[in-house]
Structure formats: structure tokens, C-alpha cells
Structure 1
Amino acid sequence: MKQRIYWIDVVKFVAVVFVILAHVVWVTEQSNHDGCGLPANLMTINRIIASLGVPLFMMVSGTLLMKKGFETKADIMAFYRHGLFPLVVTAEIWIVVYCLIALQPFTFRELILNMVLVHKPEVHLWYVRVIVIYYLLIPFLNRLRINGKWLFVVLLALVATFTFAYNAWLIYDGNLCPTTPNRSYFCYLIYMATGFVLARQKLSLKRLCAAVILLLFGGAVLFLTLSRTDYFLWYDNPLLAVMAISLFYIIRFVSSCKMEKCVVSEVSKMSYGIYLSHFLLIYVVGMIVKACSLNGISFYLALLAVLMFDFILIWGVKKYAPKVCKVVFRY
């Protein structure tokens, strides 16, 4: 059994909570235009916090994957077989489930297009494409990082300019949708490389203070820009990147303290399964929001309920059908 790295478990725990928050925000806005009784400023804060989940996940991926050597072709094929293939199998199971639920009308042609990742049956499954792309590329990116260090740095600089810097310019220019799916796919390389670098840094109080200041500064400026102009917030936003990178270091630092580890570690192990399956419960939240007049407290109760019921579901399947749980939830 692989030894767990506790601070990484904490990062994944926080990330999956933020992802669920993002989709509670999404279903609330889709189902009830008054924001579920929450003030507009509070909804903006929720959007910002929720958007930190995926960057945290990508930094964890960088931490774990970019340290691998991939010295031979056999190493690469073993990684694809044992690392990528099980994730794809689990993702395909959930793609079929969501196609059966969400496709109207259902056709086998559309099912195939979803299974080969040309289309997606639900909004959160774009992440499967990102996982497949970067798992396929990571052996070659690692070889470039090891054998052509400066070429790798130049690549990162070009990607940062093409994504984060260009996004900032478009926001400054008043563009309400300063990103595109194709362009934003590149920004995850920056998150992965940053996670790899930060995981190797020695912990220090000075760096912690700098991270806290950057987190607060980035959050404040991002909140002010979104309050002034309600543009589309995505993961190639430079202020969001500053916040996510800072939070990653803060969690790593704080997690070096002694605390209860069981729940955090278990949710971390479940995080991929939770990411894929929680949307079933998001459907239920959407129906409740449409049917009832909910207040702000109910909004956060919905977040906790989705996390709690998904945790119980996966834990129950693990207890009574561990082999099924491994395939369906990767837990």
C-alpha cells in the first residue's frame, strides 16, 4: 500500500469541498435567479472560493506526477496502464450514467461522442479531458524538464503569457468572457509545475506570511473586479492563480501541525469518485431549489449535505462491494 502524504490529503480534501461548492453555486444560479436568498456580494465570494478547487487538484497532480523519471518506454507504458487507464475506465462509467440521465433525446451516436470525449453529458466532465491530456503528456513534459530545463522554462513562460497574461488584458479591455476552453487547457501546466516546485520548497514562516498576504490581496482585487464587472471567472484568471498557489502553500504549512487525520485522508482517497459522482446529488439540490424558497443557510446546508451523502454512499459501497467501489469510485 502506498504511504499517504497527509498535507496532500488535506489539499485534496479542501479541493473537493470547493468543487462541490462550485456546483452548488452553479445549480443555485441555474434554478433560482435570486441567488438562493444570498446577497450578490456573498455569491461573488462563493464563486471565487469555489473556483480554487480545480487549481488545487492540478497542483497536487503536478506534485505527484512531475517527480517521476519515465526513463524508459516501459516506464511510460506502465504509467499509462496503471495510472491513466483505471481513471479512464471509472470516468467512462460515469459518462454513461450521466448520458442515460441527462441526454434528451438519448441516442447511441451521442453516447459514443461523449465516451470519446468529443462532447460531455454534464458540465463538470470537461475535467476528464484535462486528466487524459495531461496524463498522456506528462512523461514527455518530465523528460523535457529533466533534459532541457531552460526549454521547459521557456515553455512555461509562453503558456503563462498565452493564458494568464492574455486573460488579464482581456479583462482590462472590458471583455465579459476573457477565456476559451481551448486556450484555458494550457494553464493547467502552470498549476502542475507550480505544485511540483512548491512541494519541494522548505517550509518557512516568511513564505507563509507572503502566501497569506498574496491570498488576501488576490482575493480582494478579484472581488473588486468582479463586483465592478460581472465577467466570466475561469481558471486562467491570474488573480485566481495567485490565490490558489498561495492557498496550496498555506495548506501544506498548516498541515504539518498535528491534527485528526482519518476523515481528511478518507475523503482525499475518495476525491476522484466524489468529483465524478456528486453531480447526481446536485440534481436533487436543483430540484429542491426550484420547488422551495430557500435562504442563505440552506445554501450552505446543501453544500454539506452533498459532501456528507456522497461520502456515505462511497463508504457504503466500499464496505459491501469493495471491488465495485474500486472500479466505480477509484476508492
Structure 2
Amino acid sequence: MNSTKRIFYYDLLRAIAIIMVILVHVDGIIGYGFDSLKHAIPGLLTATTWPAVPIFLMLSGALLLNRSYTLSEFFKKRFARILYPFIFWVLVTGLIGFFSFGWSGKETLKVIFGLTSPFWYIWMLIGIYLFIPIINSFLKEYGLRGFEFFLLVWAVTIFIITVKIPLLDGINLDYFAGYMGFVVLGYYLDNKQFGLSDRSMFYAGFLLLILSTVFRMYVFRYELGLYSDYNLLFTTIAQSVGLFLAVKYLDKISVDTDNIYSKIKNNIFGKAILSISICSYGMYLVHYIIIEGFEFLNIHSLKLLPIILIITVLTSWAIVFVLSKIPYLRKISGAN
């Protein structure tokens, strides 16, 4: 894709999100807990990574909603982009795990269906994509006001399951507080005019990100017993909104008369961000088997955590990048 047609802050968010995803799974090799410094550091680092999945979904909303397309066009051009790479990489992962790491058939199936692997996100994403044309029609009919109503209901239910109101324990609010809310939220934040200056929006987003992340660390440290799905917590929404706004409005802050992003997007750092963004979906699909390789080798050293993170990021990035340059393999590489 021609980089001149891309929105840089989307690419930066996507690059940040995939590194967050890999970090949380590398942290898992060391283990979480506060019985020792070895386990406390990965635990606190993990508290910073929870916006990763929401950011991916929010970008899907910003990119896919309020578009004109037929159902056949949507499934052929958009749905196929996530489906073909997923089928390829989930089979590759299962085969490597079964024949090289000694997974049983049952363990392999659990990995494939996301019960013990990050592939749960892809199964969820498939469901999200099947529903996006419906949300798209809702947006065209009711506009941002309709989305504000949707987000209000979503936020209230997320708050209820976050604080675990006893009287409502018997009601399954997952029907109202699902992952689709992040898709709607992404489009809303991308298009809503808040009436504040760009600099004020950046500071508000940055402050929200820092405060919500510190609170998230506190929650994790003292095991306050919040809802089991950490992606569907009010703290996660706050972190995700803060990160999204901070990265979006950072572009509006000038340094030496030039916007910050205009200074970096055409240098080697900016080109790396663009490449990671393009390869991010494939990296998500590939990185798990690389981490499982470290697990198979019984590497659990805290000192090696940065090295494992760098190796996993660079290796998954390189695999997807190389495959994307080979004719007929780009469709299954996960690069887009």
C-alpha cells in the first residue's frame, strides 16, 4: 500500500499495539505475581499492555465504519484479509507444536481454537467483522448521536461488571458489554470534535493514560478481584481512550514550526513504524509459536526478558515482511 495514502497516527497506534501484545505474552514466560521481584516486574509491565487488543479494534472501527460497500465487496476485500492468513498460520502453529514441541492432539486443538493461545482474538475478530456491516448501517442511519447512545449503554454495563455490583451478579451483561464497543469507540474518537484545542486534547489523553495505567497497576498488585476479562474493564477503556487520543493529537503539536509526525514519518524510524504496522496482523499470528519456542527451551529468566522481546518482535516482523514480498504468499502473510 502506498504510504502517502496512510494516516500515520493509525500506523503508530498499530505498531504500539502489536509490541504491547508481544510484551504481555513474553511476560507470561516469566510469570506474574508479587511474591518476588522476578514476578512483580512482568506483572506491572503487563498492566501497561491491556490497551493492545482494544486499540486494534478501535482502529478497525476508524477504518471500516461509515463506508459505502456491498456485502459481497466487504467480505471479498475485508473479511478475506483476516481469514486467509489466520487459516494458514493457525495450521502452521498447530503442526509445529504437535511435531516439534510435543503437543497432544487435545492441546493442539485448544491452541487452534484460542482456548490456550492468543488466537482467541482472531475468532472474536471474525465475529466482529461479520457484524460490522450492521453497525455500519446503524451509523449511516443515526450518525454520531446514535453512537453516543450505544457508547453510553456500553459504558454503563462495563462499569457495572468492573465494580461487580452484587444485586446484578445474576445478569449476564456480556450481551451489552462486548468487544464491539471498542469498534464503535474507535470511530467515535476518530471523528468527534470535542471543542478543545489539539494541545489540550493531547494533554488530556496523556494524563488519562498515565492515571488509568497507575490505577491498573494498583488493581493488579492488590488483586482487587475485578471482572475476569481484563479487556472488558473500565480501566482498560480509560487506558485505551487515553492512548488513542494522545497519539492522535500528538501530531498537532509543533516543534520548530513542524508537526512532530512530519519530522519522523519519512526517516528510518517512521519507515520502521509503517512497516511494523503493515506487518502487525501477521506478527500477531506468528509471534505465539516463537514464544512457545522459548517456553519449550525452558527460558524463564527476568534478565533475558528484553532480549526475548526484541528477538520475538524482530523475528515475527521479518517472517511476515519476507513472505509479503513473495508473489502468491502475500495473501497469507498477514501483511496489509
The TM-score bracket by the shorter chain reads: 0.7 to 0.9
Aligned counterpart for 1:146 among listed residues 111, 131, 140: 140
Distance in 2 separating the partners of 1:77 and 1:186: 29
TM-score, normalised relative to structure 1: 0.81
Amino acid at match of 2:223: T
Aligned counterpart for 1:267 among listed residues 263, 273, 276: 276
Closer, same or farther in 2 for the Cα pair 1:34/1:323, shift >3 Å? farther
Residue in structure 1 matched with residue 323 of structure 2 by the alignment: 317
Which segments of 5 or more consecutive residues in structure 1 lack a partner in the other structure? 174-179
Residue in structure 2 matched with residue 47 of structure 1 by the alignment: 46
Amino acid at match of 1:190: G
Distance in 2 separating the partners of 1:185 and 1:284: 38
Report the Cα offset of residue 236 of structure 1: 0.7
Residue in structure 2 matched with residue 60 of structure 1 by the alignment: 59
Q: Secondary structure at the match of 1:236?
A: coil
Residue in structure 2 matched with residue 176 of structure 1 by the alignment: none
Distance in 1 separating the partners of 2:278 and 2:210: 30
Structure number with the bigger relative contact order (C-alpha 8 A, sep ≥ 6) is: 1
Residue in structure 2 matched with residue 197 of structure 1 by the alignment: 188
Distance in 1 separating the partners of 2:300 and 2:207: 39
1:130/1:185 contact within 8 Å kept: no
Q: How large is the Cα RMSD of the aligned pairs?
A: 3.1
Q: Secondary structure at the match of 1:148?
A: helix
Closer, same or farther in 2 for the Cα pair 1:47/1:293, shift >3 Å? closer
1:10 aligns with 2:12: yes
1:228 aligns with 2:235: no
Aligned counterpart for 2:310 among listed residues 282, 285, 304: 304
Residue in structure 2 matched with residue 247 of structure 1 by the alignment: 243
Residue in structure 2 matched with residue 29 of structure 1 by the alignment: 31
Residue in structure 2 matched with residue 135 of structure 1 by the alignment: 129
1:36/1:294 contact within 8 Å kept: no
Identity, % of aligned positions:
18
2:20/2:52 contact within 8 Å kept: yes
Closer, same or farther in 2 for the Cα pair 1:329/1:275, shift >3 Å? same
Q: Which moved more, 1:224-233 or 1:125-134?
A: 224-233
Q: Which moved more, 1:59-68 or 1:120-129?
A: 120-129
Distance in 1 separating the partners of 2:148 and 2:192: 18
1:286 aligns with 2:295: yes
Which segments of 5 or more consecutive residues in structure 2 lack a partner in the other structure? 167-171, 252-258
Q: Secondary structure at the match of 2:179?
A: helix
Residue in structure 1 matched with residue 169 of structure 2 by the alignment: none
Amino acid at match of 1:327: I
Distance in 2 separating the partners of 1:248 and 1:283: 30
2:13/2:55 contact within 8 Å kept: yes
